[in-house]
Structure 1
């Protein structure tokens, strides 16, 4: 009976490492690609862990809507939190204005979180619903400023137009197709 030879260049299967299909530690020969998904979820496999769709990238309208949501939500949250420091004074001055301030801070937080989730590749539902709520609150704010005689409020107008732009961008056909291909309806 012969004993197997133990050569440092020969694995236990008996074939040298240079044999076709046999490389150390599962490595493929130079210039050949292995089977299965590419590293980090790209290529042939499923969705990327970075939010890309199988077989496609996030369309520009979705990216722009998410970034707008993050910017307007972040600015609204920051401004609202600064305004909340004088909330007692605001309620003493005008109770409806204080209520609208609380509602606008809440919707700004929802839009901010929805924008972050959308940018991460999750469903844009929170961003869309937060934008609708922001439109409603800003419409009430503009109405109240006109009724109470404060005049035109430019920041209220921007807070009204940007959420509309977010909704319009997310309703574009490329955005709808992108989420339909990922099995997400909104």
Structure 2
């Protein structure tokens, strides 16, 4: 006895699986299945849904944290060298304060509570690093770290002045 070709006998299944056994195809949805409804917005009575944080704000905050790390390392180095020259302790305190302001500004920006602290910290970082770069060049050397810090400070300010960043903070009633 021969087996009929698929499709020629209504009693013979179309696929390769024997009758009564599940095939390897995609599972079939049960009859009457309806997907769950999706809702947009927040619960009623809680105002408009919060806008998503744009990547410009996130990158600016991360740059603020990186700048804070470098400022903290510079402060520790200046404190270590202050035993040789006492005035370096003053610069160590300045860099320590710069690190604290960059961290504070980054946290405030990520939370969506404003960008002015991080903008100010970025500009202060760029100005101090530019002064350090100019001083290094007058001594006949080049400070690549100072150049990176100038670029990071300017980038923080630039990113926070983008329209997407300004809309993000304006939607929260902040600057």
TM-score range, shorter chain: 0.5 to 0.7
Q: How much has 1:99 moved relative to structure 2? A: 4.5
Offset, 1:105? 2.8
The corresponding residue for 2:165 is: 175
Query: Deviation of residue 85 (structure 1)?
Result: 2.5
Q: Which has the larger radius of gyration?
A: 2
Pairs aligned (count)? 139
Q: TM-score, normalised by structure 2?
A: 0.67
Residue 120 of structure 1 and its aligned partner are, at CA, apart by 2.1
For normalisation by structure 1, the TM-score amounts to 0.64
**Is 2:86 aligned against 1:85?**
no
Aligned CA RMSD, in angstroms, stands at 2.8
- Summarize deviations over 1:97-121 as a string: whole Å, max 9, x none: 6654442332122112211221122
Alignment match of 1:133 (pick from 124, 139, 142): 124
Deviations 1:149-174 (CA, angstroms, capped at 9, x unpaired)? 15101111111110111110000010
**How many Å separate the matches in 1 of 2:109 and 2:99?**
15
Query: How many angstroms apart in 2 are the aligned matches of 1:182 and 1:74?
Result: 29
Please, which runs of 5 or more residues in structure 2 have no aligned partner? 1-35
In 1, the alpha carbon distance for the partners of 2:60 and 2:100 equals 16
| Residues 55-95 of structure 1: per-residue CA shift (max 9 Å, x gap) | 4101110111011111221232134224313323244xxx4
Aligned counterparts, 1:33-112, within 5 A: 37-38=42-43, 45-46=46-47, 54-91=49-86, 95=87, 99-112=90-103
Partner of 1:143 in structure 2? 134
1:175 positional shift: 0.5
